Structure 1
Amino acid sequence: MNNFSATFEFWLMMYYGHKAVRLLDGDREKWLAEDRPLQQFIPTYPPTMYQALEPDWGRRASRSDVLRAFGKDGVLLIDARPADMYSGESHPTTKYGGHIPGAINLPAKMELASDGSFTGWRVPTVDQDGTFKSHQELKGLFDGLGITSDKEIISYCLRGGLFTHAWFVLTELLRYPNVREYDRSWAEWGNLEDVPIET
């Protein structure tokens, strides 16, 4: 398993201007395997007035941003969905299958239990224990796909959460300066009538 739900929350907190955000390297199973402490009660905190900050629009890409990226030198689109969704073979939750033209596939894999039920996602940026791969391995993975720090990168997946794992690696671990998340992702694009799709 991996902690992509945590990376989505990290992205969301950063999007709304929070700077003191940290991410545990490894998943819950690793924590339990190391016999680390767990809490058995729900903590309470005094009520407070939360003052939201202005969103950091530089972290997010809209459909218009994606459309403007077509054919633009130095801009890459990355699709983090499984290969069968990228190819259009499978599109269980959208009207159309395929991918945004020119997108590079960095495929996640579905993990299934012995009874065939979905248990989670496996992404190529983590080791078996849920910890991030080494800096050298991560750089090699992205360099091998032509995803380099001199590019503007717009990422997407099925609903905007899965790619945040690679977004975290690119922005926080490899320090790529220009990475945005198309958070409406294929859930929007795969249901539109007036946008290009490749299969």
Structure 2
Amino acid sequence: MYDLLISAEQLRALKDQGTRLMVFDCSFELSNPAAGAEQYRQAHIPGAVHADLDTALSDQGMVNPDGTHHPHPDAASGGRHPLPSREKFAMWLSSVGFANDMQAVVYDRQNSSFCGRLWWMLKWAGHEAVAVLDGGLQAWQAAGGAMASGEDPAHFQSNYRLGPPLRRLVGTQEVLAYLQDGRHTLVDARAAPRFRGEVEPLDPVAGHIPGALNRPFTQNIGPDGRFRPAPELRAEFQQLLQGRDPAGVVHHCGSGVSALPNLIAMELAGYGPSGLYAGSWSEWSRDPARPVARGG
């Protein structure tokens, strides 16, 4: 079982052995939401299922007159990419034929910026056997892996059964409480200018949650597109936390997606699972009564 990362060579071995697995292509472009599906159609790992951030991994609900989304009432979080309920997510898994006894492998073309979302959601659904393809589609191609094109393959309907959550979802009210308790540390994965409040291209207010630490998610990936070595990641998280309890870390970003490379990197570094505030800054900043900090 692979439960964190898997290499292209390891994935090829699983496929050659006939292991029961499903590969998910999570390619996406925030600036062009239709691009991920087109990238998938042009080239993907044979048998891979496309998992679109907007339509499969979010519960967007209704579109407001100003173009923002009003989450579905049973969504598990707010923000620009609201998490669907666990039950709705299980229905989607069943619709693509994913079963409880399968190994899941997730990848994208964007330096693991989006596939971490599905990795976390499967853990949250109670599924341990899910791994990120380290280096993404580029690593698979560089290793000589076969490629396919076209639409999603046909699958028989399954009956995916939810298990106890293996990762922790944190809500806004919990974050508000954490600001006072001193036992939790918020880690913001957005780029430093957005964290400092110098620019804000997407959300109504610039800045960050008071007390949050900044670690841009791009720092976890090396020039080869793979996660950086565990000792380097551990040293950097130790420097970031400055003695704070790593068990109290809660990750967030703009909409709960790019926080996941930080969360995965912490686990690669040898720390236990940490929390995810999936609503993130896009949910926090919608209420003017919530406190906002700016600067470093």
TM superposition score category, shorter chain reference: 0.7 to 0.9
For residues 154 and 245 of structure 2, the distance between their equivalents in structure 1, rounded to whole angstroms, comes to: 43
2:186 is equivalent to residue 90 of structure 1: no
Give the letter for the 1:153 counterpart. V
Question: Which deviations, in whole Å up to 9, do the C-alpha atoms of 1:92-134 show, x marking residues without a partner?
Answer: 22211100001000024xxxxxxxxxxxxxx101101111111
Two-structure CA RMSD over aligned residues (Å) = 2.0
> 2-side partners of 1:69 and 1:57: how far apart?
21
Aligned partner of residue 140 in structure 1, secondary structure: helix
- List per-residue Cα deviations over 1:59-94 (Å, max 9, x = no partner): 111001111111323311100001111011111222
SS in structure 2 opposite 1:71?
helix
Distance 1:82 1:194 in 2: 24
Query: TM-score, normalising length from structure 2?
Result: 0.57
Secondary structure at the counterpart of residue 131 of structure 2: coil
Residue 115 (structure 1) aligns with: none
- SS of residue matched to 2:275: strand
Corresponding residue SS for 1:177 = coil
Give the equivalent residue in structure 2 for 1:181.
276
Q: Which residue of 1 aligns with 2:12?
A: none
1:12 maps to amino acid = M
Identify the residue that residue 157 of structure 2 maps to in structure 1: 47
Q: Does 1:32 align with 2:102?
A: no
Map residues 43-192 of structure 1 onto 2, 5 A cutoff.
Answer: 43-51=153-161, 53=162, 56=165, 59-108=168-217, 123-146=218-241, 150-171=246-267, 173-192=268-287
SS of the equivalent of 1:194 reads coil
In 2, the alpha carbon distance for the partners of 1:48 and 1:73 equals: 44
Structure 2 distance, partners of 1:46, 1:58, is: 28
Aligned partners of 1:149 and 1:177 also within 8 Å: no
In the alignment, what sits opposite 1:2? 111
Q: Pick 1 or 2: higher relative contact order, CA cutoff 8 A, min separation 6.
A: 1
> Do the aligned residues in 2 keep the contact of 1:152 with 1:178 (CA within 8 Å)?
no
Paired letter, 1:188: E
TM-score, normalised relative to structure 1: 0.83
Q: Which amino acid aligns with 2:153?
A: P
Deviation at 1:35, TM superposition (A): 2.8
> What is the distance in 1 between the residues matched to 2:213 and 2:246?
16
Partner of 2:291, secondary structure, is: coil
String of CA shifts for 1:47-70, please: whole Å, max 9, x gaps: 22333x156285111001111111
Q: Which runs of 5+ in 2 are unaligned?
A: 1-109
1:80 and 1:107 in contact (8 A); partners too: yes
Pairs aligned (count): 183
Secondary structure of the 1:154 match is: strand
